[in-house]
Amino acid sequence: MNQFELVLPTRRHMLLGAAASIPTATAVLMPAQGQSAQNSLLEANKAVVRRLIEGVQRDGDFVLFEQLFAADYVDRTPFGGFEPSRNGTRAIYQSFRAAFPDWRAVIHRQVAEGDLVTTHKTYYGTHRGPFMGIAPTGRETTFEVIDIMRIRDGQITDHWGIGDSAGLLRQIGPQN
């Protein structure tokens, strides 16, 4: 995706004197037409994912969850034991929030291309409720994740994710 397009002075510009200050061997780099609109869409898509992380995951706003997730949403890599749907994803978030009431994320980087947003983040939380059959330990935990989400019309339609769930379970499991 080019951010700039090459604009050469045209013969018409030369005749009108518009390019008099531009040497004939020099090209001018101008923002590509439509680039601004594309950048705005990419930023809007990233903002949707940030609203999910901050509003739903951190703050527990499940009214916002309903607004952000499309009815036909599919989780392409569902967390173990949860269905790959909007209902399954809601249950995952509720499970995490019940087990880690101070669950929050730090976004390290976020990249958008086309309709996809990739986010690398680390979750932090204190294990204060049962999680996957493990009684609360009171331990501070961290959990790294890389998510890819497809955004359509301001809603999340698809999710692919890789997270260190084994590392999380080691943190809350029996200690040696």
Q: How far apart are CA 165 and CA 171, in angstroms?
A: 10
pLDDT of residue 32: 58
Predicted pLDDT at 80: 82
User: What does the pLDDT read at residue 74?
Assistant: 98
Q: What number does CATH give the domain 46-172? A: 3.10.450.50
Look at residue 35 in the predicted model and tell me its pLDDT: 72
d(CA 108, CA 122): 8
pLDDT at 43: 97
Q: Can you give the pLDDT at residue 7?
A: 44
Q: Residue 165 has what pLDDT?
A: 92
Answering whether pTM is above 0.95, one says no
Q: What is the pLDDT of residue 34?
A: 62
Q: Which H or E run contains 124?
A: strand 116-126
Q: How high is the pLDDT of residue 36?
A: 83
Taking the chain (176 residues) in runs of 10, the rounded mean pLDDT of each run is 47 45 45 73 98 96 98 93 95 96 97 98 98 96 98 98 95 85
For residue 33, what pLDDT is reported? 58
H/E run at residue 160: strand 155-163
Can you say whether the dihedral through the CA atoms of 48, 59, 93, 148 is positive or negative?
Answer: positive
**What are the residue ranges of CATH 3.10.450.50 in the chain?**
46-172
107 CB contacts (<8 Å, ≥6 apart)?
A: 50, 53, 119, 120, 121
